[in-house]
Structure 1
Amino acid sequence: MVGALYQLTTTHGLSESDVQWASRWDTYLLTADDQIHWFSIVNSLMIVLSISGMVAMIMLRTLHRDIFEYDQLDNLEEAQEQTGWKLVHTDIFRPPVNSESLSVLIGTGVQLFGTILITINFMVSGILSPSNLLNEFIFVIVVVWALMGIFGGWTMARLLYKTFEESEWNMKASLTTAFMFPGTVFCIFYVLYSLTSGGESWRPVLYDCMFGFLFLWLAISAPLVFMGSYICFTFIAPETRESVKTSKIPREIPEQSWYMSPIFTIMVGGIIPFVVVFELSSMLTSIDLHHFCYMFGLVFVILIVTCAEVTIVLCYFQLCREDYRWWWRSYLTAGSSAFYVFIYATFYFFTEPNITELVPGVFYFGYLLIASSALFMLTGTIGFYACLWFIRRIYASLAIV
């Protein structure tokens, strides 16, 4: 083999390189314009810190005043004359419509969140690196996702059976959690790679990838989802909220202004995380030019903080208008940022990459659809749990008359 390599080198006029073997990836790991890359990150970070400080001061002062005034009331008649979020305490934990679908989406979001968090930790610790082969990197991500199936099933069951108080075992919910998102991803990948499987060299790669994904999905992820769901349903006690009991008759919701309508608040809530995490433009440019893009961990933290803050603020405004239907709206408010990512990436496709052939365009939108769907469930889950934590804290500190 050494002789063959030497003959190949001398035949094509190649000479020995001065680059050390340990530094062979340095050329590919450089970004085209690292100053713009860092400027985008620092700009987003400063905006998030400024918004966090303002939101924290406003919310703490307002909530402290509301709780203090409510606790100073002497009788029930004075309490009933109050308005705002304090009046809906008997309806705030009323189960939402289509609670099964919401539980499935959040369970899938938790599975994706755990996968991204562990992958970023692997990259920070040096276990994974951008210099790894793409196939190995994707394989590690899929393995981590499969192992996180137990947390996805556990989360789904905890919400459906313990928070929303479903009394009977629902096999459909577990099946949907185990098969909805991975089944969609498998179908998209199969269609995409079927377009390139005409050549003989592609067929073994296609079959190996599809078989490996099916094995990890059906043999590891799906059983772990069922295991987590069964453990939670069987051994975890229902959540108790003695201080905030749900009434039997739902409270009538007052007529809402146009700017507090669900569609408007959901669409506005999605714009802010998208604008703050505008690092997406640098990422798309790096991918298009085959360069690496760093600091995904910092961008991920910025995305979490922004989604949580925006969703909490809009949820507070909604409750002040005596609208207690916050379950789905909190999820969709943060999740709508994926819609703007899809719109921006579509605009980017028609302006920057100059892709004219059909197959690359289909691949682009296929990957974009998968990424947008995953981002929708990820950010929606972040917004939901941020609002759940916020509501439990404010109503736990309220002395119910």
Structure 2
Amino acid sequence: FRRLIPENRKIQKNSTSYFYCLNEVIVKQAFLLKIMANELKSILATEADEHSHTYKDGEEVVLWMNTVGPYHNLQETYPYFSLPFCRGSKLAIAHYHETISDNLLGVDLEFSGLDIKFRVDVPKTAYCTLTLLNEEVDAFHHAIRNHYWFQMYIDDLPLWGIVGEYRNDENSGESMKLFTHRLFEIGYNGNTIVEVNLTSNNRIDLKPDVAFDLTYEVMWKPSTVRFHDRFDKYLDANFFKHRIHWFSLFNSFMMVIFLVTVVTFILMRTLRKDYARYEKDLKMDDFDRDFGDEYGWKQIHGDVFRSPSFPMLFSCLIGSGIHVFVLVIVVILITFWGELYLERGSILTATIFCYALFSPVSGYVGGCIYTHFGGKRWIKQALCCGSFLPLLVATAATIGNISALYQSSTRSIPFGTMASIVAIYALVVLPLTLIGSVVGRNMSGRPNNPCRVNAVPRPIPEKKIYLQPWLIIIGGGLLPFGSIFIEVYFIFTSFWAYKVYYVYGFMFLVTILLAAVTMCMTIVCTYVLLNSEDYRWRWTSFLSGASISLYLYLYSIYYFIYKTRMYGFFQTTFYFVYSGLFCIFVGLMCGAIGYVATANFMEIVRKPTLDYYSLIVLTNQSIVAYCKRFVANFSSDYTFPFSFFKDLQQTCSLQPQNVWNVLFLAVVLTGLRFMFVRFICRPLAKYWRLTAEISGKLPESLWNLTMYLFLWLNTCWTLVRTDRWKYFTDPLSIWSDFSRDRLIPYEVDVVYLTQTAFYMHATYGTIFMEQWRKDSKVMVFHHLLAITLLSFSWAARYDQVGILVLFLHDVSDVFLECAKIFKYLKFRDNTHYSFCEFLSNASFIFRLYWFPLKVLYTSFYGSVFLGPDDLPFIPVFNFMLWLLFFINIYWFHFILMLIYNLATGKFKELEDSRELENCNSEKHD
């Protein structure tokens, strides 16, 4: 087709645009993150293009011509004016500025030159006259014979049309006719365009050197369709919400139930039976016992924690897989809440932004695993983690780009876009990956294997064919693929055919079910491998999960042959290259998920102290010890309350001056808040033109954000300054350093002083200065409990535990207040920051994970078995910590309600579920 069009009739791109894009990249390198954030902000808004989507009567409406190509080859597109069409007479308009995602998707918008005005009908009008040469007639014939279609845009609403009509009768032979008239029917609702339709007619036979006119007609008609619903006509609900879709979800859920039952059977029956014989050894510190008379997985206890071959590559694959998993979850949620599928290229833009933003994930995970394996070349490993996925994408893009250039397709990536992508990688992705790797390397610590690794690897015995690792690997991906293969059909149909995928709620649930099936399946595969006395479980667990990519690629071949009518070198190359890339990404994700699940499984089966029976015994022992201590405190020589105050006087580290300082600082904070609201928040609200309701809520969040951020940074600085960061990685070491008469460092005194004063001020602010909510009573109780807990841990010298509590809690509050501010500001420019709010609230889960793991376990178990016998008031201290934990659970149920409502589609806009109905937003300040 490229050779059929004369060179002098091709529409060439402006070559200076390449140098302009490159110049933009060089000039704005320092502001690249800000540019990416603004682009993401723009796609999350309702007004997603450069125009406002609102018009006045008679205002110009632009018709953009995009691409043309074969109907059966969706990705094989060419510039619209590569066919010998002609433009309208109106040429005085600026060129459309494509985004990075537009260029990657092959979008090539050019002005049509047609004069269209809002609510102004245009009768049938000729906009140009064509006289075709022989070569141009052949080009049209080639396009009509191959069912070429074209795409246009009016106010970001797509239009599709066919170039001409092709018939091939046995009697009359081939008949190819060109459509020369286009009727545009545009529906409007108020001052917005809500629907567009294109009708092509007036067919003519094409002959060389014969002049004919191209005409158009515009008809405006009122419509009842709302602006927000104008894309609904492009969504095929009958296809995506078919009952087979629900059946697929139910099938996956039942598969998860079955596999979880199998894994539970392994853990609760087989392993518990094995450990029952070693109940007498629960208190032994050395797990390295004599297993010579055993069989199966217990024979290889000295080899299972051996580092795998190629540890750098292995850690890179795991880090990249977890990065992909986080990226997939975040992009699905963003798309679901922001409805990004309604805007051209928005999902791809969000994917690029989120990939760069979450780059530290791959570095952190890869760095932790590599350090755990004893690796020393961490810089090389970090570069590997940061470059692995980009190199995969670059390889696929290069192959696709070469074939696109050969075909002169719009799918060829411009040089400026390449430079922008390279800049994002070099200036954002790579540095963030290095930072994540450094953090992971420092936080992973030394390997803490429950048993010693043999110096000489144990020989692997011969086994039956069905126990060979390669067969286990192949079988490991079968059930995970079975849980998603129906959803894969919908995804492939959306990407390779003319469907808009919009059921991202389904995709989110299927992704979670896929992760669950993969985890269970890899655990079962690993257990089978260990029972055959083969300790090479690390690579096997990863490859068992990653083998789903093999089944996906086989399915893509089946789909290409039986479900599509694609043809030609470019489309075939594009299909198999990018299908392969998709399969690799899914394989990396599932392989990493499978390895992480299996690694945790290995910790359970190799550490008897983590067995359920051991946990029950440990809990009973702790409760008995607490009861004995409680009874001892109230023995005959203990007289309450005189002995209580006597212990408090001997232990208390607080001085009267500390109490006065706290009260004075609380009053100062209240005054500072009043000035902060009056001189900063109110002018900002007036400048941003916020509503009265939002103006009443914003000062609270801005003030809390400022204070929480300051307090958390101060706590972090104190942890580093006083060398207490080790208590986070090894919290039980707190009791080895504890002493009743030790001095509390000055930096820790400052932390307690500021924190206690702030919560005193916050108690007053919640009652008298803030909007009253459903949980305000709980909030007041929380603040009073925090004051009591701070004062008690400060006085009883439990500051080592207390500072961990402050570190874990304040970081969640920082993100929570940021989310509230983003939500409030969305009313100013109608942007959807709902995902940001949920993501920030999701960080609250650290209070439900790290808090019991680091704080409750240390204070409850460590104080009994590791601490000195004369710990003062430790039951009271633990009681308050547990109260704080239950309050966190109470607040977390609001997030669970939010997730449920979003998953069931009850609402799309996030609202604060803690607010009272019909409550006013007035503050009592």
TM-score (norm 2): 0.40
* CA drift at 1:80: 2.3
Residue in structure 1 matched with residue 427 of structure 2 by the alignment: 219
1:329 paired with 2:540, answer: yes
SS of the aligned residue for 2:566 comes to coil
Matched residues in 1 for 2:276 and 2:548: separation?
A: 36
- Corresponding residue for 2:273? 65
Contact 1:155–1:229 (Cα < 8 Å) also in 2: yes
Query: Which residue identity does 1:10 align to in structure 2?
Result: V
Aligned residues: 393
Q: Is 1:20 paired with 2:226?
A: yes
- The one of 371, 387, 396 equivalent to 2:607 is 396
Answer yes or no: is the 8 Å Cα contact 2:478–2:551 preserved in 1: yes
Match of 2:856 in 1: none
Aligned partners of 2:421, 2:364: CA distance in 1, in Å?
22
Distance 1:9 1:171, change over 3 A: farther
- CA–CA distance in structure 2, aligned partners of residues 175 and 107 of structure 1: 12
Deviations 1:2-40 (A, max 9, x none): 254238852414232522222111112233422222222
Verify: 1:90 aligned to 2:302, yes or no.
yes
- Alpha-carbon distance, 1:54 to partner: 3.9
Amino acid at match of 2:537: W
Which of 397, 411, 430 is matched with 1:189 structurally?
397
The 1:17–1:204 alpha-carbon spacing in structure 2 relative to 1, beyond 3 Å, is farther
Find the residue that maps to 1:93 and give its secondary structure. Answer: coil
- Is 1:289 the equivalent of 2:498? yes
Is this contact kept in 2: 1:31–1:286, CA < 8 A?
no
Cα displacement (A) at 1:58: 4.4
Task: Call closer, same or farther: CA 1:203–1:303 in 2, change over 3 Å.
Answer: closer
Partner of 2:702: none
The one-letter code sitting in structure 2 at the alignment partner of 1:358 is: F
2:276 and 2:313 map into 1 onto residues whose CA distance is 38
Q: If each structure's strand is expressed as a fraction of its own residues, which one has the higher value?
A: 2
Distance 2:595 2:492 in 1: 28
Identify the structure with the greater helix proportion.
Answer: 1
1:376 to 587, 591, 594: 587
Question: Normalization by structure 1: what TM-score?
Answer: 0.90
Distance apart, 1:349 and its partner CA: 0.3
Query: Helix, strand or coil for the counterpart of 2:431?
Result: helix
Q: 1:278 maps to what in 2? A: 485
* Partner residue, 1:10: 122
Q: What SS is found at the alignment partner of 1:6?
A: coil
SS in 1 for 2:457: coil
Greater CA deviation, 277-286 or 253-262?
Answer: 277-286
Q: Are 1:108 and 2:320 matched, yes or no? A: yes
Q: Is the 8 A contact 2:235 2:499 kept in 1?
A: no
* Distance in 2 of aligned mates of 1:240 and 1:72: 23
Aligned: 1:258 with 2:470: no
Residues of 2 paired with 1:9 and 1:96: CA distance?
72
1:317 Cα offset (Å): 1.3
Distance 1:32 1:283, change over 3 A: farther
Q: Report if aligned partners of 1:44, 1:278 keep a CA contact under 8 Å in 2.
A: no
Contact 2:547 2:587 in 1 (8 A): yes
**Equivalents in 1 of 2:459, 2:279: separation in Å?**
24
Q: Contact 2:359 / 2:432 at 8 angstroms: preserved in 1?
A: yes
Counterpart for residue 318 of structure 1: 529
CA deviation after TM superposition for structure 1 residue 137, in Å: 1.6
Q: Where does residue 164 of structure 1 map in the other structure?
A: 373
Q: Distance in 1 between matches of 2:594 and 2:383?
A: 24
Contact 2:405 2:412 in 1 (8 A): no
- Name the counterpart of 1:141: 351
- Specify which structure has the bigger relative contact order, considering alpha-carbon pairs within 8 angstroms and separated by 6 or more residues: 1
Q: Structure 2 residue aligned with 1:30, among 236, 239, 245?
A: 236
Larger deviation, residues 336-345 vs 283-292: 283-292
Equivalent residues of 2:373, 2:447 under 8 A apart: no
Distance, in Å, in 2 between the alignment partners of 1:348 and 1:201 is 24
Equivalent position amino acid for 2:498 in 1 = L
Note the C-alpha offset of 1:203. 8.7
Cα 1:84/1:398, change in 2 over 3 Å: farther
Q: Distance in 2 between matches of 1:87 and 1:358?
A: 55
Asked if structure 1 preserves the Cα contact closer than 8 Å seen for 2:367 and 2:378, the reply is no
Aligned to 1:153: 363
Change (3 A) 1:51 1:229: closer
Q: Does 1:229 align with 2:441?
A: no
For the aligned residue pairs, the C-alpha RMSD in angstroms reads 2.6
Once the two structures are TM-superposed, the CA of residue 231 in structure 1 deviates from its matched residue by 3.0
Gaps spanning 5+ residues in structure 2: where? Answer: 1-57, 61-114, 124-216, 283-287, 611-925
Note if 1:249 corresponds to 2:459.
no
Q: Give ranges in structure 1 of 5+ residues lacking alignment.
A: none
8 A Cα contact 2:248 2:483, kept in partner: no
- Residue 258 and residue 71 in structure 1: after superposition, are their counterparts in 2 closer, same or farther (change >3 A)? farther
AA at the equivalent of 2:553: F
% of aligned pairs identical? 24
1:31 and 1:293 in contact (8 A); partners too? no
